[in-house]
Amino acid sequence: MYIRSITKRYLTVALLMIGILFASESNDVLAQQAGDREPVAVSKANQSDIIDSLSEALNDIYVFPDVALDMEKTLRKNFKKGKYKKLASLEEFTQALNEDLQKVSHDLHLGVRPMDAATYAAMLEENPEEQEEFQRRDMDRRRRSNFGFKKLEILPGNIGYMDLRGFNHASFAGATAVAAMNFLSNSDALILDLRQNGGGSPRMIQLLTSYLLEDPTHINSFYVRKDDSIQQFWTSAHVEGPKMVETPVYVLTSRQTFSAAEEFTYNLKNLKRATIVGETTGGGAHPVESHFFRISDEVFFQMQLPFGRAISPITGTNWEGTGVEPDIEAPADQALDVALLDALKKIAKNSNDEEHKASLQWAIKGLEFKNNPVDLDEKAETLYTGTFGPRMISFEDGTLFYQRAGRAKYKMTPMGDDLFAIDGLDFFRIQFVRDLDGTVNKLIGNYEGGRTDSNVRTQS
């Protein structure tokens, strides 16, 4: 949604993002364009005008008026002292401004960056063809990234997994979100991976959360300073496809989890609807507008300006500056295995179906082995090799291999206690049985679900 507004000094347009997001897809386009072009020279007069424009916008819109005034004072003092005197390019100058703004506000959503004349014109609708091309390229990028839905998978033990890299607005990503949630709807637990998610739109948060809660629920509000208003966000009673209101939910986080991804995490944590696994998130809770400024025929810049703050209906506050702490702390690169193991153990504990429990224990054993690999016994070449009925175990280049007559050969990986996984046959493992003197005399084939078969050793 585009809003046209006139400031006292310059015409600006704000791209309203009630969804909290600093690194939005459209802003990434602007950043890429800024990185592709030649540096733009900036004079002392340009610097003064930029500081005037920033100060006006900050004092008019920024969520905390007292902090806005402090930021203005800092920029003007540094300009007067000549701190920016040797910064000849717009790129260098805006970088210095960002550093000074952050020292005062510590607001990770707040920032400025250069932009080019064509993008400025497109944003202002002064050039309809440019604007149409910009929006077309932006939508193509979103579509090629599948609107942030990077990966869907059913993990061992029937655990649903979604790797979500951004919360695109539901108006164009809704169909993809609905398809994703329906794909995962038969899972016994759900893992939502936000470790590489930098934010997005609260409309997508509403949609996804609606699948996890039975009744309409107030999940978040945004206070807007300029008009002293509050906008509430609620889940929907109806969704396309089945809801998953009883399905255990896990959310994976990292230090890079930011903005709207933090809101989603914060909402579910406080509703006690999810277990958060990973690292404390980045700590950005302010909705932002993008403002675009023209200083001269060559100098244009964009400002990400937080205009409000999130207010949880449960806590009365938000995660700004603190982030969301996990329920189970784990390094980001281990969070998936930690969540998966926790889910499998809890489901197995509550299951009364013996076949189901056997499958879950199978998955648990495999995951525990993955995180604690076992070395091959030095005597493996003579200890395990041989023929066991139609099954043959061979040793080549320090590795054991399993093969049935006339079939493919598979690498064997030790899991401990004479138990081996068969690479490429996830549903099958081999357990060797020894006699009293330690000699292997039998092979037992173990299958996921609890079935077994066996063969005695017929040839060494």
Residue 344 vs residue 354, higher pLDDT: 344
Q: Which of 79, 107, 137 is the last residue of a domain?
A: 137
Q: What is the mean pLDDT of residues 242-265?
A: 97
CATH number at residue 257: 3.90.226.10
- pTM value is 0.87
Burial class (CB in 10 A: 0-12, 13-18, 19+), 247: middle
Q: Are strands 386-388 and 328-329 parallel, antiparallel or unpaired?
A: unpaired
Q: Residue 213: name the closest of 257, 249, 159, 172 by CA.
A: 249
- Are residue 111 and residue 167 in the same domain, yes or no? no
Does residue 133 carry a pLDDT above 50?
Answer: yes
Q: What is the pLDDT of residue 37?
A: 65
- Are residue 35 and residue 175 in the same domain, yes or no? no
Task: Look at the block and give the residue holding tokens 């510590």.
Answer: 106
Q: What is the pLDDT of residue 23?
A: 37
Within-domain flag for 212: yes
Within-domain flag for 372: no
Does residue 301 carry a pLDDT above 90?
Answer: yes
Tell me if 34 sits within 8 A of 292, measured CB to CB. no
Helix (H) or strand (E) run with residue 305 in it = strand 300-306
Q: What is the percent of the chain where pLDDT is above 90? A: 81
Q: Which domain holds residue 167?
A: 146-286+306-348
Within-domain flag for 114: yes
CATH number at residue 415: 2.40.128.50
- Are residue 83 and residue 59 in the same domain, yes or no? yes
Distance between CA 270 and CA 313 in Å, rounded? Answer: 10
Beta carbons within 8 Å of 2's beta carbon, 6+ residues apart: 13, 14, 15, 16, 123, 125
pLDDT tens sequence across 188-206: 999 999 999 999 999 999 9
